[in-house]
Amino acid sequence: KQEVTQIPAALSVPEGENLVLNCSFTDSAIYNLQWFRQDPGKGLTSLLLIQSSQREQTSGRLNASLDKSSGRSTLYIAASQPGDSATYLCAVKGGSNYKLTFGKGTLLTVNP
């Protein structure tokens, strides 16, 4: 059974700092890994999707990497801003069905 773990559970940083969020998964037989952002009480916004054959994806100040063999992914946020404050969720898709298995998320607070 796939399990996804995100560390840390919460992170508070000053504005402008670069930061890394971590995600690990137990079964390396995945189709892809997706990072999402969730604002309080809202739905999920897809940030980056990395296919199993890829090593990284970039979008603006965000960079996500994938090391399938070790079961790890990182989300790097450059020059953080208060508007980046949200919960960041990592999810992997794999197995005999196409469901996403989610981590519990990292609650990020960027202080002005």
Partner 1 sequence: KAGVTQTPRYLIKTRGQQVTLSCSPISGHRSVSWYQQTPGQGLQFLFEYFSETQRNKGNFPGRFSGRQFSNSRSEMNVSTLELGDSALYLCASSLGRSGGTDTQYFGPGTRLTVL
Stretch that binds partner 1, among 9-17, 18-26, 43-51, 69-77 (CB under 8 A): 43-51
Report, in Å, the least distance between residue 35 CB and partner 1. 11
CA-CA distance, 6 to 4, in Å (whole number)?
A: 7
Q: Where are the beta strands (DSSP E) in the chain?
A: 4-7, 10-14, 19-25, 30-38, 44-51, 56-59, 62-67, 72-77, 86-94, 100-102, 106-111
Stretch that binds partner 1, among 18-26, 61-69, 73-81, 103-111 (CB under 8 A): 103-111
Count the residues of the shown chain that bind partner 1, applying the rule CB under 8 A: 25
**Which one, of 96, 97, 107, 94, lies nearest residue 4 by Cα?**
94
Stretch that binds partner 1, among 13-21, 40-48, 65-73, 75-83 (CB under 8 A): 40-48
Binders of partner 1 among residues 71 to 100 (CB under 8 A) are 89, 91, 93-94, 97-100
